[in-house]
Structure formats: C-alpha cells, structure tokens
Amino acid sequence: MTEFARCVKGMNRASQVSKSINVGGRLVDLGKPQVMGILNVTPDSFFADSRCSGEMQIRQRVNEIRLHGASMIDIGAYSSRPGATDVSQEEELQRLLPAISIVREEWPESIISIDTFRSHVAYKAIEAGADIINDIAGGDLDKEMFDVVAQKQVPYVMMHMKGTPQKMLTSYANDDVMSEVFRSLGERVEVLHEKGVADVIIDPGFGFGKTLEQNYTMMQRLGEFTLLDCPLLVGISRKSMIYRLLETTPEESLNGTTVLNTIALLNGANILRVHDVKEANEAIKIYTQCLISE
C-alpha cells in the first residue's frame, strides 16, 4: 500500500468514530454504517414508486426493507417534497399509527423511526411503539418537540431545513452554507444536551432549502460535520440534486444515489436513509471491505 493510500485509509477510519445510540435499552453501534429504509405511507411522495397505501403494501414494503438488510425503518406520513400539500396532524396520525402497529406486530425487533416535525405526532408515535424521531425541521416548526424527545428519552434525528416544505424552493441558505448549517445544528445540539437528550443524530438536510451548488458543497465538505461529535445521517436518495444535475428523473436516479452514498460513507456518514436498501447495503459492504483490506 502506498503512503498516500495509508493516509486516506487513516482519514476514513478517523471519520468513522465508533458511536452508539440507546434504542429502547438496546445499544446500537453506528461505528459500522447502517441503512435506514424509507416507508412512505403518503399518497404524494416525490418518488412515486415508494408510496404505500393499505396493509398489504405496507407489509410487502417492510418485508423488502428487512430482507435487504436495513436495521431501521423510517415511516413518513407527511410528504416533505417541495410544494407538498399540508395535512392535519390527525390525518398524519391516521396514516402513521396503523403502519407502526403492523411493523410492531410482524417484526417486533425492528427499529422504527418516525419522520415528523410535530411534537404531538411524535408523542403518539412513541406511545405506539416508535423508537426514533426524525424531524426534518430540527425543532423549528414545533417548539415543543425538544421537550417531547427529552421526556420520552428517544434518539432524535435533527435535520437542517431552510423555510418549510411549501416554501423551501424560494428560501435558500446563505451563501456560506456550511457555516449556516454547522452553526444551526451545533447550537441545537447544545440545547438538546442541556435538556437531557443524549442521543442526537444530525442530518445536514440535503435538498431542503439549498441550491444545487450548495448541496454539492455540503457533500464535498460533509466530513466537517463529524466535528459536532454526533452520528451523521445522510438522506440523498433519488433527490433533485441528482436528477437535476443529470437531467433525468427520480426513477432514473438509483446509480447517482449509490455514487453519492459512497461519497457520504467516505466522509463519515453513519446512517444512509434510502429507498433502495439492497444497493445501499452493497455500497457499505464494499466500503467496509476497502477499509479492512491491506
């Protein structure tokens, strides 16, 4: 092995600092990257093939997620695509709770994450058996979210978003996107720790209020977020930063997703949130083998 290769290998190992989170009394090691499979129970998710409605489709999707090796299932009942229609928290819960029940009944050992920015929905979901809260707004859209997470003592994925899902195409981050996102996440990590939340996972929020160029700047400098000393989740699956650049569609963005997931792993990602679990796990296996091979 050349000296340059040894240096790169050492950098990669340093970025993958061994971290663990407490999930319902179980310690989950994130030193080895994990896959979070997406279960959309919405009728209007941006990637049409990911939409599930009805018990049969939910069971089929969860079985697929688990068969292909995801350790976490992220259930979303509120579409956060740009310009998505707002839905009430009652409707969000009507979609979420049956899905949680199905997963808990058939796959009781599964780690369930709930994609919501509403504290009441988060509370009800945890009561129903959810393990993790994945908040695209990082507490911005519901000031009681941090208190609910602290009360329930569950891991919390805190994402950076500029604006709201309905307005994020007209509200972009500042020119110095890294400083804005890093400072925002860092300040909130401190607040959460002060409230007694031990397990905070950060997500820079690719595609949420960032320009195409800003998304790729964040990907290039992703390793800098490891300085916040929190596990790092990356969610770029089939997003517009891929298909806009390649002038294709979400349906044609699997190859681009795998490329970016690999770059994310090289820069310290601990969790990949994806539609395509099999391909993400293959990327992790190859990446991990490269680290252990001389």
What amino acid positions are annotated as catalytic residues? 239, 273
Q: Is 145 helix (H, G, I), strand (E, B) or coil?
A: helix
Burial (Cβ within 10 Å: 0-12, 13-18, ≥19) of residue 107: middle
For residue 62, give the nearest of 32, 83, 91, 41 by alpha carbon: 41
For residue 232, give the nearest of 152, 139, 160 by alpha carbon: 160
For residue 139, give the nearest of 215, 88, 202, 207 by alpha carbon: 202
Instruction: DSSP for 203-245, please give it.
Output: E--TTSS--HHHHHHHHHTGGGGGGG-S-BEE--TT-HHHHHH
Burial (Cβ within 10 Å: 0-12, 13-18, ≥19) of residue 34: buried
Separation of alpha carbons 45 and 85, rounded Å:
11
